[in-house]
Amino acid sequence: MREAKTRKRATKSENTRARGRVNLWQWAFLILIGLMLGTGLWLGHSVLTPVAQSYSTQDTTTGDPAMTVSLTKRQANEIISYYLNDFQKGSNVKYSLTLADQAVLGGSFKFFGQKVGFSLLFDPLVLKNGNVELKARRLNVGSLPVPILYVMSYAASNYKLPNWVRMNSKQKTVVLDLNKFKMANGMQLKATKIDLPNSQIDFSVYLPKK
């Protein structure tokens, strides 16, 4: 009789420990799921929220241009490559801008912890004030179903951009605000024509104000 009671108490104790272990694993699983969901929501909010950038549209060029400059795509690509290589010194995140039949922004972004390369294709448009607007049209990123908004928001948040370049992920545009760009000698530029299929890129050059 005493042995039966002892076995009964031992069985009850083992069942209690087993339930404790089950409950512990259940709580651990629920906490893990909560962390994954919370991280996913935070990442989605951080990346997909359009980045607001302040800028000025004031035109600082006046009078007639001192000269006009015409470039081919090859010449323009050499200048862009030289500028970006110098501008991105010391930066861990690199990107490129190449002119083909469209303007191509190349780089990489992180998607669920994986580094993914991309090419974002833009159509250029010369604005009335001489600035250039790039309108995103297509994203090449393999077979991943990644929206343009995601990539542009990531680039705006993580890429080192010149202060005369503003990216609007919501409108899928990048504006080259040449009104704010000055060369080392103080001269400024205005775009007058961009015809990439025919390799024609024209600028007006203005002398600095005295």
pLDDT band for 109, please (50, 70, 90 cuts): confident
pLDDT tens for each residue of 131-182: 999 999 999 987 777 889 989 998 999 999 999 999 999 999 999 999 898 8
| Residue keyed to tokens 């042995």 | 3
pLDDT for the residue numbered 36: 42
Which pTM value belongs to this model?
0.69
Average confidence (pLDDT) over 171-194: 91
pLDDT for the residue numbered 182: 83
Q: Is the pLDDT of residue 15 over 70?
A: no
pLDDT band for 33, please (50, 70, 90 cuts): very low
Average confidence (pLDDT) over 29-40: 42
Average confidence (pLDDT) over 42-60: 43
Between 104 and 210, whose confidence is greater? 104
* DSSP codes of every residue in the chain: -HHHHHHHHHHHHHHHHHHHHHHHHHHHHHHHHHHHHHHHHHHHHHHHSPPP----------SS-SEEEEE-HHHHHHHHHHHHHHHTTT-SS--EEEESSSEEEEEEEEETTEEEEEEEEEEEEE-TTS-EEEEEEEEEBTB----HHHHHHHHHHHS---TTEEEETTTTEEEE-GGG-B-TTS-EEEEEEEETTTTEEEEEEEPPP-
pLDDT band for 130, please (50, 70, 90 cuts): very high
Q: Which two three-digit tokens encode residue 37? A: 């969901």
- pLDDT more than 90, % of the chain: 50
Q: Is 54 left (phi over 0), alpha (psi -120 to 50) or beta?
A: beta
